[in-house]
Amino acid sequence: MVLEDEEESFEPVGVAGSETLAGDVESWAMVGRFLMNKLIKLEYMRQVLASVWQPVKGVQVSELQPNLFLFVFYHVTDMQQVLNEGPWSFENNSLVCRQVRDGVLPVDVVLDSIDMWVQFHDLPMGYTSDSVLEQIGNFLGVFIKCDDRFAGVPWRSFYHVRVSIPVDKPIKRRMRLVKRDKSTCWVTFKYERLHNFCFYCGYLGHSYKFCLKARESPLSVSQYPYDASLRAGGSRGPHAVGERWLVPAEGPSRPSGTGVVAPAPAAVEVMNHARVEEGVVAVSKRRREGPSGGRRSGGAGRDIVMQEVSKNLSMAGSGPQTRPSS
């Protein structure tokens, strides 16, 4: 049985593109999902992403389906910033997101790739043009754009390209480049802001600890084909800014004939500054105490005005006071 009323078409009147109706607030929508299998706490996720994005006109977050979220922005630059400066993550799980175009259901938006910056290392001279970079980007996924901040430089240690990486395929570690003379070389890749991925199968969204293939493999973790070196930047340890003041584990080195270790100039300055601070504290204490060492009583006299007081003392002490008359 066919109902004839359902076969009739309806076309709304007065709708011109994505114009905002009178009284409505203009907004831009984005839909996204996280590459993870566990339950997401919506309220906590909303707070974390809002604090990271800091949209100038705010963002509204709602859950459409399990692990499918709608982000509504009220300024176009807020949405553009999120889309252009990703990838983002929650609890180290990447967010795959796309803008919801006019006339499209949010649940129908395809979320199968994530945009990220990739570094191309070991490119030989003569193979660094924008055309070659675009082809390498398409080898990884879908080329988006090149970083043009260093345009015109003949050669760099690595090249910066934004690529849309498919999430249903393993990420690529390197590529064999065939040169004009038919010889080959390896071009290696490093991914910026690369979040949770498997060291065994190379897929985004899970670690080797939860990978069935990794558990069934006889290989050890050190023999897995992937490792943390695919992350651009690597580990960030402390910088050697205080090396000049540190004494090595074997003890200070003594110059021959003197028996005294001369401190570095900067260390001398720090020690002198400490002595000055200590002297100011001592003078301040003596001037607050009476002749016998105890504190003066309220009627015995008043403290002496100090011309130069350290910042800590001026905050902890009282206001200006005058010298008692003789």
Do you know the residue count of the chain?
326
Q: What is the pLDDT of residue 38?
A: 85
Using DSSP's 3-state secondary structure scheme, residue 162 falls into strand
Q: What is the SS3 assignment for 144?
A: strand
Predicted local confidence at residue 172, as pLDDT? 97
Largest CA distance in the chain: 116
Consecutive 10-residue averages of pLDDT for the chain (326 residues)? 66 61 77 92 94 94 95 96 95 96 94 96 92 96 91 83 96 96 96 96 94 94 95 64 68 58 47 46 46 48 48 46 49
- CB of 225 closer than 8 Å to CB of 211: no
Asked if 144 and 164 touch (Cβ cutoff 8 Å), the reply is: yes
The sign one gets for the Cα dihedral 282, 287, 293, 295 is negative
* The model's pTM: 0.67
Residue 29 is predicted with a pLDDT of: 96
Q: Which domains does the chain have, with CATH numbers?
A: 28-108 (3.30.70.330), 113-230 (3.30.70)
User: What is the pLDDT at residue 89?
Assistant: 95
Cα dihedral 31, 35, 39, 45 in deg (nearest 10): -60
Helices (H), the chain: 42-53, 76-84, 130-140, 212-216, 265-288, 311-316
